[in-house]
């Protein structure tokens, strides 16, 4: 459809359609023959970083950088599909009243207004309408499975643009009839969730509006088909993900030897930290002839623990964990929230321990209230206003001699109040 500029998104940046197709081809090759496990030690990397090497450093071309970026995009998409069961593609909705949204609306409306004027002319001009049916035909054919030859032949026969042009020349073309046929085929191919859209199409009488809505529903059907393919691919991808990512990282290393510098630095930092702790733990006078041995498991565990205290604003994540950056940051924020709740509970018990005797539900309710008030504590708009609220609620709970009998006023039970607002008003 002309001016069809919708993009696909998942809340985060996703690779392009061409990248997705390359990823599908890569996964197809994985299903034919399982990827052999390759070592991450790159000869080119070690040679380029070796001080004894007399050869000049290897120059990375722009094409190699772009190839590495494509590999990373494909791997990011594959990883997200495998680990996120709720992952799906959605159409990118432009913000309301934005310049891009207004321009898009004006351009789309201009196109359909031109089509309306052509169909209402005497004699009618059908060329643009025929081109739309040609595009509709190609979209419908893309939904068919390789075995749907009967329906494929029927669609090609009914939506034969050469035949439609001949009918238009003799004023014998039935645009409404062609639209009704397209709607009936869409009803057979669409998911059950689109049944209401199909019924609305059948109830629409204006031919221009029908064509406009047909393209809208076809876009939704294409997204449904992509998401269905993702769900079907996920079990296979989960089995192949480790080998697939290992292979992709090896390809990236071959094209850009410095692609894992952050990961190397992250592991070295963990090793140095453990060595420092081991040397500190040695008793005075003990033999210190050999460095303490560190197991790979110990180094890896310490490296992952460091991620829970990672400063995401000052340090970049290791390249091997970039695809899980949002999830790791969420874990860090949750840990910080739990630290504050634990400190609050400890301070409360130390300060007023005697007053809390006989209040068995105090700790649980205090944790629940604190969790609600501290929600979003890592966001920029979060401020310290929750601290006085926490203090007020601690005082309120302590003064309540019977927690179980304490009930919120009826006016606070109104559904318009959120849980956080009820806590705030009760204070």
Strand partners for 91 = 8
Tokens 């050469």 belong to which residue? 162
- Residue 341: the pLDDT is 85
Residues 353-366: pLDDT tens digits? 666 666 667 777 77
Identify the weakest region by mean pLDDT among 26-40, 206-220, 379-393. 26-40
Distances (CA, A) of 204 to 140, 176, 194, 209, 409: 20, 11, 16, 7, 51
The model's pLDDT over 283-322, given as tens digits with 9 standing for 90+, comes to 555 555 455 578 889 999 999 999 988 888 888 889 888 8
Q: Is 246 exposed, middle or buried (0-12, 13-18, 19+ CB in 10 A)?
A: middle
CA angle, corner 135, sides to 131 and 141, nearest 5? Answer: 145
Give 78's pLDDT tier (boundaries 50, 70, 90). Answer: confident
pTM of the model: 0.59
Choose between 73 and 384: higher pLDDT: 73
Q: Render the burial of 169-202: b for 16+ CB within 10 Å, e for the rest.
A: eeeebebeebbebbbebbeebbeeebeebbeebe
Radius of gyration of the chain (CA): 31
285 burial class (0-12, 13-18, 19+ CB within 10 angstroms)? Answer: exposed
pLDDT of amino acid 406: 44
pLDDT at residue 133 tops 90 = yes
Is the CA virtual torsion 121, 124, 127, 129 positive or negative?
A: positive
């Amino acid at each position: 459809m002309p001016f069809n500029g919708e993009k696909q998104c998942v809340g985060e940046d996703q690779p392009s359609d061409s990248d997705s197709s390359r990823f599908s081809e890569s996964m197809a090759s994985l299903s034919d023959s399982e990827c052999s496990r390759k070592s991450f030690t790159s000869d080119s990397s070690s040679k380029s970083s070796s001080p004894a090497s007399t050869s000049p450093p290897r120059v990375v071309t722009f094409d190699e950088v772009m190839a590495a970026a494509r590999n990373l995009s494909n791997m990011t998409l594959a990883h997200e599909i495998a680990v996120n069961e709720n992952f799906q593609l959605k159409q990118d909705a432009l913000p309301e009243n934005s310049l891009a949204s207004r321009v898009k609306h004006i351009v789309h409306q201009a196109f359909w207004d031109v089509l309306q004027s052509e169909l209402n002319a005497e004699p009618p001009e059908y060329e643009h309408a025929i081109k739309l049916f040609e595009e509709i035909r190609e979209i419908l054919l893309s939904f068919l499975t390789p075995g749907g030859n009967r329906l494929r032949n029927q669609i090609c026969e009914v939506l034969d643009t050469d035949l439609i042009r001949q009918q238009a020349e003799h004023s014998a073309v039935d645009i409404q009839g062609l639209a009704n046929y397209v709607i009936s085929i869409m009803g057979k191919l669409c998911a059950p969730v689109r049944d209401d859209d199909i019924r609305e199409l059948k109830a629409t009488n204006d031919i221009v509006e029908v064509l406009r809505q047909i393209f809208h529903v076809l876009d939704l059907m294409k997204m449904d088909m992509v998401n269905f393919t993702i769900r079907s691919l996920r079990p296979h991808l989960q089995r192949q993900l480790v080998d697939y990512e290992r292979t992709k990282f090896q390809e990236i290393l071959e094209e850009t030897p410095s692609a894992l510098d952050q990961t190397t630095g992250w592991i070295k930092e963990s090793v140095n930290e453990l060595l420092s702790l081991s040397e500190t733990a040695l008793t005075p006078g003990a033999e210190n002839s050999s460095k303490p041995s560190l197991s790979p498991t110990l180094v890896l565990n310490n490296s992952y623990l460091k991620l829970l205290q990672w400063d995401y604003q000052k340090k970049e994540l290791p390249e091997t964990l970039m695809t899980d950056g949002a999830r790791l940051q969420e874990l860090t924020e949750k840990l910080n929230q739990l630290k504050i709740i634990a400190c609050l509970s400890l301070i409360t018990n130390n300060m007023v321990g005697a007053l809390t005797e006989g209040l068995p539900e105090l700790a649980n309710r205090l944790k629940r209230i604190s969790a609600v008030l501290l929600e979003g504590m890592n966001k920029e708009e979060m401020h310290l206003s929750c601290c006085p609220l926490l203090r007020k609620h601690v005082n309120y709970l302590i003064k309540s001699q019977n927690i179980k009998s304490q009930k919120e006023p009826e006016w606070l039970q109104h559904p318009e109040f959120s849980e956080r607002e009820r806590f705030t008003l009760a204070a």
